[in-house]
Amino acid sequence: MKKYRVLILSLMIGAITIVGCNSTNHSESDNGRYYVVTTTTMLADAAKTIGGEYVEVKGLMGPGIDPHLYKASAGDVQSMQKADMVVYNGLHLEGKMGDVFENLTAIDKKVVNVSKGLAENMLLQSEDSSLAYDPHIWFDVTLWKEAVIELTKGLKELDPEHESEFETNLSSYLKELDELDQYIKNRVLELEKEKRVLITAHDAFNYFGQAYGFDVKGIQGISTTSEAGTKDLRNLANFIVEHQIKAIFIESSVPTKNIEALQEAVKAQGFDVKIGGELYSDSLGDENSGDETYIKTFKKNIDTIVDALK
């Protein structure tokens, strides 16, 4: 079955190569806007914000989708082939799409890896043997600013005619991100230092912890492809009881079973830890939640964390 899937992917990429060699790069879509395809919801939001009226953005992954496990469908591959520019996070966040990005680059499709905008010393080493660095860069607003700047470079190369508009949009957005960063820091100050412990389903929040002073622990590793063992649950349950942690958190893009098992393991030791709420980890919220942008999502996260741990 695995060999069959590899064969299908190879055929899909081969089709891209055949069509792509005969296509013109940087062509505008039928509505006069450039067609930009992004992987994650965070990147789709950034592309819309900076590109404004000059781009049409399609995000491959919707709210609640786990990018670690995401596999590109035939329709996704077709969308990327048609795109004027493809944008992805990098650092193996989209771990099952690496071959697709490489083949798109090989046929001279404009592909932007936003993590290339970050210096290596800004990245956190990964304890997961399958990853060199932690890919969850959006959880430090300072790093996300650098990623957005890298995305903007791609837009300016794609559409030099509107470079000044992109710069204006970027400048305005960076100010909003600075305000978000300060909002987070102000809310964190409401917590005593010993209460700044964040326990979630997987290790998505290490950049957040480093930037805002939290001790972060996840049941699974940095990638949700890793498995949580009985020993992991037991050790984390012991930690919660020892430190009298008030709350642990589920994630919007990760099944709740491990957190619920952790809660039961803690209860078996005679201590009750509540589920403090749902955090957005690998995707933004949707319009129905009112958390459909990066800024709204991050505000919702920090409000949930602080309110539960106070």
pLDDT beneath 50, residues of the chain: 1-11, 13, 15-26
What type of residue is 173?
Y
Question: What are the φ and ψ backbone dihedral angles of 73, each rounded to 5 degrees?
Answer: -85, 170
Is there a contact between 71 and 121 (Cβ–Cβ < 8 Å)?
A: no
Per-residue model confidence as pLDDT tens digits over 65-101: 999 999 999 999 999 999 999 999 999 999 999 999 9
Per-residue model confidence as pLDDT tens digits over 148-202: 999 999 999 999 999 999 999 999 999 999 999 999 999 999 999 999 999 998 8
Closest by CA to 167, choosing from 54, 84, 41, is 54
Closest by CA to 144, choosing from 121, 173, 169, 172, is 173
Q: What is the pLDDT of residue 6?
A: 43
Q: How many Å apart are CA 49 and CA 3, to the nearest integer? A: 41
198 contact partners, CB below 8 Å, separation of at least 6: 205, 208, 209, 214, 215, 216, 217, 249, 305
Q: What is the pLDDT of residue 198?
A: 97
Closest by CA to 150, choosing from 29, 293, 55, 47, is 47
Closest by CA to 203, choosing from 234, 180, 235, 226, is 226
DSSP sequence for 177-228: HHHHHHHHHHHHTTS-GGG-EEEEEES--HHHHHHHT-EEEEEE-SSTTS--
Domain spans in the chain, listed from the N-terminal domain onward? 2-182, 187-309
Q: Where are the alpha helices (DSSP H) in 23-140?
A: 41-51, 74-82, 98-106
CATH code of domain 187-309 = 3.40.50.1980
Give the H/E segment covering residue 163: helix 163-188
Distance of CA 63 to the CA centre of its chain: 11
Q: What is the pLDDT of residue 222?
A: 58
pTM value is 0.88
Q: Does 3.40.50.920 match the CATH number of domain 2-182?
A: no
Domain 2-182 identical in fold to domain 187-309: yes
Q: How many Å apart are CA 269 and CA 158, to the nearest integer? A: 59
Closest by CA to 224, choosing from 141, 131, 291, 143, is 131
Q: How many Å apart are CA 310 and CA 308, to the nearest integer? A: 6
